């Protein structure tokens, strides 16, 4: 695998695990003997964004003046159905209009 694809795979794994800043990404890449610029990391983010699944999104936030990135995985909405004990409705007031002074005029 090329070093570019290895770098993208590593960055994607880091972003899935935790939120991380560009400076931290550069330090981790230097530890793996991959020297790249901040500008290249920004280009890698656009490549990673195109590699994500439909349920994943690349998001960012600012903390202490530094921009942090992370991959957010959307979970499907699970609604819990409430079981109704009885299915018969004996009386409702939906058909009774409340008479007020404004309506009677």
For the CA atoms of 30, 36, 38, 39, what is the dihedral angle to 10 degrees?
-170
pTM for this entry: 0.68
Does residue 64 surpass a pLDDT of 60?
yes
Does residue 12 surpass a pLDDT of 90?
yes
The H-or-E segment that residue 59 falls in is strand 56-63
CATH no. for 3-73:
1.10.10.10
Does residue 70 surpass a pLDDT of 80?
yes
Could you state, in order of their start, the residue ranges of all structural domains in the chain?
A: 3-73
Q: What is the mean pLDDT of residues 24-48?
A: 93
Of 82, 6, 77, 79, give the one whose Cα is nearest residue 44.
Answer: 6
Return the pLDDT at 75: 78
pLDDT interval class at 40 (50, 70, 90): very high
């Amino acid at each position: 695998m090329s070093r570019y694809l290895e770098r993208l795979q590593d960055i994607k794994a880091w972003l899935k695990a935790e939120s991380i800043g560009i400076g931290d990404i550069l330090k981790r890449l230097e530890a793996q003997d991959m020297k790249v610029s901040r500008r290249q990391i920004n280009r890698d983010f656009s490549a990673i964004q195109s590699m994500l699944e439909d349920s994943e999104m690349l998001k960012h936030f600012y903390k202490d003046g530094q921009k942090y990135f992370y991959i957010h995985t959307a979970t499907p909405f699970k609604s819990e159905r409430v079981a109704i004990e009885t299915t018969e409705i004996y009386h409702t007031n939906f058909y009774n209009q409340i008479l007020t002074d404004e309506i009677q005029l």
